[in-house]
Amino acid sequence: MKKYLIKAMVIIMIIVESMAFNSINALAICDDIKGGTILHAWCWSFKTIKDNIQEIEDAGYDAIQVSPPQECKVNKECCKCKQEGKIGCTCFQENWYYLYQPTNFKIGNYSLGTRDEFEEMCSAAKQHNIKIIVDVVVNHVSIDLSSVSDDVKKIPNVFHNQGELSGTNAADWLDRWKITQRDMLGLYDLNTGDLGVQKMIKNYMNDCLKCGAWGFRYDAAKHIELPKEIDGDYGSDFWPNITKNATDNGAGYQYGEVLQDSVSRFYEYSKYMDVTASKYGKKIRDAIRGRYLNHGYIMDYDSEGVKGDKLVTWVESHDNYANAQDCSDTSAWLNDNEIRVGWAIVAGRAAGVPLFFNRPVGGGGRDNLGRFKLQFPEKTKLGDKGSDLFKDPYIVAINKFRKAMKDEDEYLRSQNGKLLIIERGNKGMIIVNWSGNSAVSSETRLSDGIYTDAVSNKEFKVENGRISGNTENDITILTQK
């Protein structure tokens, strides 16, 4: 989230004989986002989103997550921007994290646009039946107190004032009181149990809804105390009050960034909102790195008792991507094809709400010698559209497959740890294949008939409970012709 934290083959196709198998019932569909996907338009401006709304609809996304629209800290101009006469520096690497340093609880900032432009974006999205999810920072304000608005500072007891939660002592990050009551990395921690602070946050969120937003993503959610804390009396009613207020005022969806660890209390947060399956994202990246596709390994969401219909799933998040490439939970090493592989798994499955993270143009991956590429080559500035991978034909086909399979159960099987099959009801199938074998012949639950690959248009035949055909592409997505 913050600067301080910076530092394949998919074959959606059909099957091979003699595979281990398993099945899971699809979890309940609670609302219309549960069978769809979210595009994380990271650092796109409101105008950029509006101008590309048709492409986003055509790519099959049901919702767009926008970066925090709040007034935020403006970095002093870098040398290059000074030379170009820019008022605010828009170089990506040095500035994206300032969007997570709010200075006020009002819509509009120098990077993303004005309140009017936010409203115009929401209106355009509604015309295309796309929902806007606002990334809202409610745990803290900027590290620079002088930049914080008097509207915030005039609230009595607005901050916790319990000292800093630094990045140098790992034990501090496994202490519930410290992670919820101290200033994370120097960012002034809001006194979230205070009614005046809650009112300020509610007013801001209600204004977002008034402008046409549909849902919220709560940044750093696990750093805000729950109503009952097991190791002290510092709990507060922040989460029941905030989430109920959002629902009462028209929010259709809410989820929190609750990155899983030994003190995250993952299940407790899920009582108030959906939560981020960060362990599962790492599992998918580990499976990609190790070329290991065992269904038993992939099937478990590692969700600590939280049902699949309460999870937001991803291949990577902006935190994973922006962290230094030698960190254990980084994702910048993934290339485009590996992202497609991961997306086929998370979006092909029945549960969860998959979030597709849009990288900056040209960022990440590896060169021909296996060396990491820069995350921020500055081909993209703050406010610009990112990589076109979000509308890649295979990503689009996976998105549309997910829509078509809504309410269908899932059935997972694998072979030799190199081929993973995700069957959805008796209607379609995804295969991730690193076996090198293009011939497909296996038992299946699919109904008899001809199935067509969504990208290549190759045909596969299902007869008497078996499917047969050949694939030449990394990704093949089959639904009945």
Query: How far are the Cα atoms of 95, 118, 138, 240, 314 from residue 100, in angstroms, in the given order?
Result: 10, 17, 10, 23, 20
Helices (H), 112-175: 115-127, 150-153
Query: Within a 10 A sphere around the Cβ of 443, how many other Cβ atoms?
Result: 16
Query: Is 257 one of the catalytic residues?
Result: yes
Contacts by 27-31 with C-beta closer than 8 Å and gap 24+?
Answer: 27/307, 27/308, 27/309, 27/350, 27/351, 28/309, 29/309, 29/406, 29/407, 30/309, 31/252, 31/253
Of the listed 135, 207, 225, 257, which one is catalytic?
257
Distance CA(222)–CA(205), nearest Å, equals 19
The DSSP bridge pattern shows strands 274-276 and 253-256 to be parallel
Calculate the CA dihedral of residues 317, 319, 321, 323 and round it to 10 degrees: -160
Could you tell me the two tokens for 110? 């120098």
Distance CA(362)–CA(388), nearest Å, equals 10
Of the listed 119, 219, 316, 392, which one is catalytic?
219
Q: Please, which residues have CB within 8 angstroms of residue 161's CB and are 6 or more apart in sequence?
A: none
Query: What angle is formed at CA 360 by the lines to CA 359 and CA 366, rounded to 5 degrees?
Result: 75
Query: Is 94 one of the catalytic residues?
Result: no
Active site residues: 219, 257
